[in-house]
């Protein structure tokens, strides 16, 4: 017989979470402006084709083109000191925004006493957080500050979209989501998506960037390398996320794979990213073609995230999109 139960939601924490997310959006936007100033008034780079390495002409082995067609980046005139400082302020603001984002996620989790990524709103917030985290972590070791403006604006837009169109009140979730698998499967999907976002941003910049022209962006090769590195890191995580999803489906629905729309699109995303990795090893597909494939894969990822929840009905209809 049914036994009505009340699930307590800590309303003040839930409100705090909503406020923190708003603060995050503002901080990311402010950071974006700082990065943009750095880009606009900082150093411009020109990519000049460096001289080919001699060994090629001498009947050496066929080296991949990026080893032979070396490029060097010549720097423009001394950048304005304040512009460089603006970039530094951008990084600091991003870190503060990151902390606010984290706080927003944690308070939401504590408010409802469960993993805070069980509906579309929470999921999108977490993915934006993951993208900024991926950027900040990569920034520790690599000079990719130029990506800052693009990553923060993407995250701010994503969060804004979540707040405006996807927001639902903090609350309990359906029984199918009561599982430790949500911690494993969804977390992996979020981490991978965050990295894929960084890769996607770099790939778009790659296609925009023209060779041999002065630009505030680094050379195509650097952009390509950032994208590749992010994808290579994200791909095994995504693979794991899909497998963990299958394990969960096996527990919850009685089959590990059933071609539910969400499963179909995770699979498509996976296959297209695999195609990207293959393209990089195939003559005639390196460079631009491979980057375009990675963007197709990224589009599939985004469609799976947003489109599938909205257009298709399936077992994965927990998205809880506000009507």
CA–CA separation, 138 vs 274, rounded Å? 23
Contacted entry of other proteins, ligand HEM, none for residue 300, CB cut-off 5 to 8 Å set by kind = other proteins
Task: Please report, as residue ranges, which positions from 137 to 156 form the binding site for other proteins (by CB under 8 A).
Answer: 142-144
- Find the shortest distance in angstroms from Cβ 271 to ligand HEM: 6
Q: How many residues bind ligand HEM (CB under 6 A)?
A: 5
Residues between 37 and 56 with contacts to other proteins, criterion CB under 8 A: 43, 45, 48, 50, 53-55
Residue 26 vs 243, nearer CB to other proteins: 243
Who's near 299: CB < 8 A, 6+ residues apart? none
H or E stretch at 74: strand 71-75
- Minimum gap (Å) between residue 83 Cβ and other proteins: 10
Which pair of tokens denotes residue 68? Answer: 């032979």
**CB 99 → other proteins: shortest distance, Å?**
25
CB of 219 to ligand HEM, least distance (A): 22
- Identify the DSSP state of 78: P
Closest approach, Cβ 26 to other proteins, in A, equals 27
Tokens 């067609």 identify what position?
69
Considering only residues 250-279, where is the footprint of ligand HEM by CB under 6 A? 274, 277-278
- Residue nearest ligand HEM, Cβ-based: 281
Maximum CA extent, the chain: 84
Specify the residue, 178 or 278, whose C-beta has the smaller distance to ligand HEM: 278
Q: How far apart are the first and last CA of the chain?
A: 31
3-class SS of residue 48: strand
Cβ proximity to ligand HEM: between 162 and 272 the closer is 272
281 touching ligand HEM, by CB under 6 A:
yes
Residue 132: CB minimum distance to other proteins, A: 20
C-alpha 245/C-alpha 305 separation (Å) is 14
The nearer residue to ligand HEM, 93 or 226, going by C-beta atoms, is 226
Of the candidates 248, 263, 257, which has an alpha carbon nearest to the alpha carbon of residue 176?
248
Site for other proteins in 294-313 (CB under 8 A): 300, 308, 312
How many residues at the interface with other proteins, by CB under 8 A?
99
DSSP secondary structure string, 242-307? HHHHHHHHHHHTS-S----HHHHHHHHHHHHHHHHHHHTTSTTTTTHHHHHHHHHHHHHHHIIIII
What residues make contact with ligand HEM under the rule CB under 6 A? 274, 277-278, 280-281
């Amino acid at each position: 017989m049914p036994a009505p139960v009340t699930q307590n939601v800590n309303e003040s924490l839930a409100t705090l979470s909503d406020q923190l997310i708003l603060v995050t959006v503002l901080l990311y936007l402010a950071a974006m402006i700082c990065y943009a100033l750095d880009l606009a008034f900082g150093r411009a780079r020109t990519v000049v084709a460096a001289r080919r390495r001699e060994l090629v002409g001498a009947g050496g082995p066929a080296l991949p083109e990026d080893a032979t067609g070396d490029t060097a980046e010549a720097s423009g005139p001394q950048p304005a000191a304040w512009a460089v400082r603006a970039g530094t302020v951008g990084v600091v603001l991003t870190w503060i925004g990151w902390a606010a984002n984290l706080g927003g996620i944690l308070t939401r989790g504590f408010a409802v006493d469960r993993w805070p990524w069980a509906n579309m709103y929470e999921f999108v917030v977490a993915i934006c957080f993951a993208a900024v985290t991926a950027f900040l972590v990569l920034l520790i070791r690599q000079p990719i500050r130029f990506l800052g403006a693009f990553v923060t604006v993407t995250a701010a837009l994503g969060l804004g979209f979540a707040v405006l169109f996807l927001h639902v009140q903090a609350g309990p979730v359906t029984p199918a989501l009561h599982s430790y698998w949500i911690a494993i499967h969804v977390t992996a999907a979020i981490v991978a998506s965050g990295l894929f976002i960084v890769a996607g941003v770099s790939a778009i910049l790659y296609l925009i960037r023209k060779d041999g022209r002065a630009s505030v962006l680094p050379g195509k090769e650097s952009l390509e390398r950032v994208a590749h590195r992010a994808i290579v890191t994200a791909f095994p995580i995504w693979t794991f996320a899909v497998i963990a999803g299958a394990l969960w489906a096996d527990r919850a629905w009685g089959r590990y794979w059933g071609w539910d729309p969400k499963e179909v699109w995770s699979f498509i995303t996976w296959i297209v990213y695999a195609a990207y990795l293959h393209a990089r090893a195939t003559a005639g597909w390196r460079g631009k073609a491979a980057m375009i494939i990675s963007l197709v894969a990224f589009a599939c990822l985004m469609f799976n995230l947003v489109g599938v929840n909205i257009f298709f009905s399936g077992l994965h209809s927990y998205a809880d999109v506000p009507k």
